[in-house]
Copies of this chain bind each other. A is one copy, B any other.
Amino acid sequence: MEGKSVAARIHDAIHRLTPAEKRAARGLLGAYPTLGLAPVAEFGQQAGASSATVLRFVSQLGYKSYPDFQRALRDELEERAKSPLQRGQSASASASDDNFLDRFVSQAAGNLRGTAGLIPPSEFEAVCQRIAEAKGQCYLGGGRFTDFLAGYMEAHLRLIRPGMRRFDGRPATRADQMIDVRPGDTAILFDVRRYDPSLLEAAGELAARRAQIILITDEWMSPVSRYAKLVLPCRTALDRTWDANGSLFTLVEAIIARVTELAWPIASKRIGSIEPGGVP
C-alpha cells in the first residue's frame, strides 16, 4: 500500500468513490499531477466539487492529510524527472538495446545538456573572468578521481596565465602549501560524491585565509559549497553503479576555452614564447 503511485491508487479506489468524489478523481487524472499540487479550494473548483469533497477523496486514497497527498505527488514527479528514459521510448529503446557504447554516449550527452541547464550563464562567465583576471595565485585540487581533472585544467591554464598552483599529493603536504595562500587568491576545487572529507577541511582552511573558492561538483552538491563563492554543479547521474564525470570534463574544457578567449592578449604572447611555430 505504501509505495503505490497516486494514479494507481485512484484506479484501485474509483469504484468505492461517490459521484462527486469521482469528479475529483477525473479532474486530477485529466490534469495530472498539477491539479493535485494546487490548494484544495482550486482543486475543488477546477474539478467541479467542493473542498470538502476533495478532502474526502484524498482520504479515500489512503492519505492521512492533503499535504501528505501532495508530498506523494511531488515525490513521484521527482522520481520521474530522475529516470533518464521518460520520453521517446520507441526511438531510444530500440537504438540502445544492443549497443553499449551508443547507450552510454546518449546518456552522457543527456548529462551534458542537463549541465548546461543547471549552470546559469552569468555564473559560468563570472568564473571565467575570475580566472582570466589573473590576480593573485590560483590553486587547484580535487578528490581521488577528480584530481586528474584538476591536473588537466592546470596543464592548460598554465599556458594562459601565471600563478597556477596545484595541491599535490596527500593532505599532509597540503598544509605546507596553505601557508602561501593570501587573501584574494583563487582556489578551484573539484568534489563529487562520495565527497572527500579532507577536501572539505582544506576548503575551510582556504576560506579562513580569505581565498575565493570556485567549486565544481555534481548535482548533489558537495558540502564544500558552504565555503564557495562560485559553484558550478554538473549532472553526473547514470543508470549504473557509478556516476559519470564526463560533464565535469567538458565543463573544464569550456572554461579553458572561454578563459583563453578572455585572456587572449596575454595568452597569445605566453603561448608564442613557448611554441616558436606560433599558434595554429
Chain A residues engaging chain B, CB cutoff 8 angstroms: 7, 10-11, 14-15, 19, 22-23, 25-27, 29-32, 34, 37-39, 48, 67, 70-71, 74, 77-78, 81, 84, 87, 95, 98-102, 104-106, 108-109, 112-113, 115-126, 144-145, 148-149, 151-152, 155-156, 219-221, 225-226, 229, 231, 233, 238, 240-242, 244-246, 249-250, 253-254, 256-258, 260-261, 279-280
Query: Which partner residue on chain B sits nearest A153 by CB separation?
Result: B148
Could you tell me if A100 and B121 are in contact, using CB atoms closer than 8 angstroms? yes
A279 to B77, CA, bound (A): 27
Query: What residues on B are CB-neighbors of A100 within 8 Å?
Result: 121, 124-125, 254, 258
Contact B38 A74 (CB under 8 A): yes
Q: Are B253 and A240 in contact (CB under 8 A)?
A: no
Q: Taking the full assembly, how many copies of this chain does it contain?
A: 2
Contact of A151 among B84, B104, B106, B148 (CB under 8 A): B148
A250 to B101, CA, bound (A): 10
Which has the most chain B C-beta neighbours within 10 Å: A7, A26, A122? Answer: A26
Closest approach, in angstroms, between the C-beta of A24 and any C-beta of chain B? 12
Chain B residues within 8 Å of A152, by CB: 145, 148-149
The answer for the CA separation of A279 and B240 in the assembled complex, in Å, is: 11
Contacts of A23 in B (CB 8 A): 225
- CB of B104 within 8 A of CB of A254, answer yes
A246 and B152 CA atoms in complex are apart in Å by 11
**A11–B243 CA distance with the chains assembled, in angstroms:** 27
Tell me the smallest distance from the CB of A254 to a CB of chain B, in Å: 4
| Complex CA–CA separation, A186 to B122 (angstroms) | 46
What's the nearest-Cβ distance from chain B to residue A84, in Å?
7
Considering the chains assembled together, what is the distance between the CA atoms of A253 and B102 in angstroms? 13
Centre residue among A67, A151, A257 by max chain B CB count within 10 A: A257
Other contacts beyond A37-B77, A101-B121, A108-B253: 5, CB < 8 A: A15-B122, A30-B118, A95-B116, A100-B254, A104-B258
